[in-house]
Amino acid sequence: MPTRSTPTERQRRLGAELRKMRLAAGQTTEYAAGLLGLDRTKVSNMESGVRAISPDRVRILASNYECADQAYVDALATMADSRKQGWWEQYRGNLPQGLLDVAELEWHAVRLRSYQTVHVPGLLQLSGYARAIFDSALPPLPTSEVELRVAQRMRRQQVLERDTPVQYIAYVHEWALHMQFGGLRATREQLTHLCEVSERENVELRVLPVEVGAFPGAGHAVLYADGAVPQLDTVQLDSAHGGEFTHADAQLAKYRAHMDWWHANSLAPQASRDFIHSIASQL
């Protein structure tokens, strides 16, 4: 299989899991190369995500590494199956890699949880609200790229509307509801939309009132994506220079604790809708 110049986050994650599984078995890249009939460099490239690996080869390695977790192996084999490209690939070369990686992460997740402190979650944004966010970037983005980003963000919302929609729990700090991206009218429309979309069975929206005070991860926007098995969970953090992804065990445990804290301290869904309605009525 040919090498890739820029592997996706999902491809890099698959490679990292193969390396983790090999090291847990106490085996070398030479051993893996012998199993697959390849040279050592190609195995190293597979473990870095630069080179593709077939589902059958994933299972060969797992079997010889004596990995007994069949659900985990099946999930890795699914990750290796690249016969069908995702919708986000049409934006490749026109938008930053990180935006495509987030879309891919969301698409394959079993459940999504996020908390936002400055604006409402991207999966719940209206186009006008999203456009105002992208228009505020520095240095300014060209109008054509702003429109591409808005279109891609709207398409990301398919995960909430497809035949098998993902379960989504969104925690939003009260302050984010007062931020007027796009002006009063756009903000009012956005808040009304939040209340409407939160009525869906697969969407749970909870507001953290300012009275709660300090909260963990202040200043960060966090997305926690549950993988097909817990070992494949991923956290995505927003930053000024783009999204960052982490899946180290300690980091996953920390952000699971964050999500539990937000759940325990935020308003219940109906109380959150009432709260949002009250803010919208004052605009």
Q: Which of the listed residues 38, 63, 80 is the one where a domain comes to its end?
A: 80
Residues 75 and 96 in one domain: no
Q: What is the dihedral of CA 17, 18, 24, 26, to 10 degrees?
A: -160
Please state the pTM of the whole predicted model: 0.94
Domain identity same for 140 and 249: yes
State which of 80, 112, 135 marks the end of a domain. 80
Q: Token pair of 31, please?
A: 């051993």
CATH of the domain at 270: 3.30.870
259 in a domain, yes or no? yes
How far apart are the C-alpha atoms of 56 and 100, rounded to whole Å?
27
Residues in Cβ contact with 260 at an 8 Å cutoff, skipping those fewer than 6 apart: none
Q: What is the CATH number of the domain that holds 25?
A: 1.10.260.40
Q: Nearest Cα to 255, choosing from 203, 220, 205, 229?
A: 220
Residues 97, 99, 105, CA angle at the centre, nearest 5°? 100
Question: Is position 53 within any domain?
Answer: yes
- How far is it, in rounded angstroms, from Cα 146 to Cα 221? 21
* 188 and 239 co-located in one domain: yes
Cα–Cα dist 65/24, whole Å: 8
What is the extent of the structural domain holding 58? Answer: 9-80
How do the pLDDT tens digits run along the chain, 283 residues long? 556 678 999 999 999 999 999 999 999 999 999 999 999 999 999 999 999 999 999 999 999 999 999 999 999 999 999 778 899 999 999 999 999 999 999 999 999 999 999 999 999 999 999 999 999 999 999 999 999 999 999 999 999 999 999 999 999 999 999 999 999 999 999 999 999 999 999 999 999 999 999 988 767 899 999 999 999 999 999 876 667 999 999 999 999 999 999 999 999 999 999 999 999 999 8
Distance from C-alpha of 73 to C-alpha of 68, rounded to nearest angstrom: 8
48 and 111 both lie in a single domain:
no
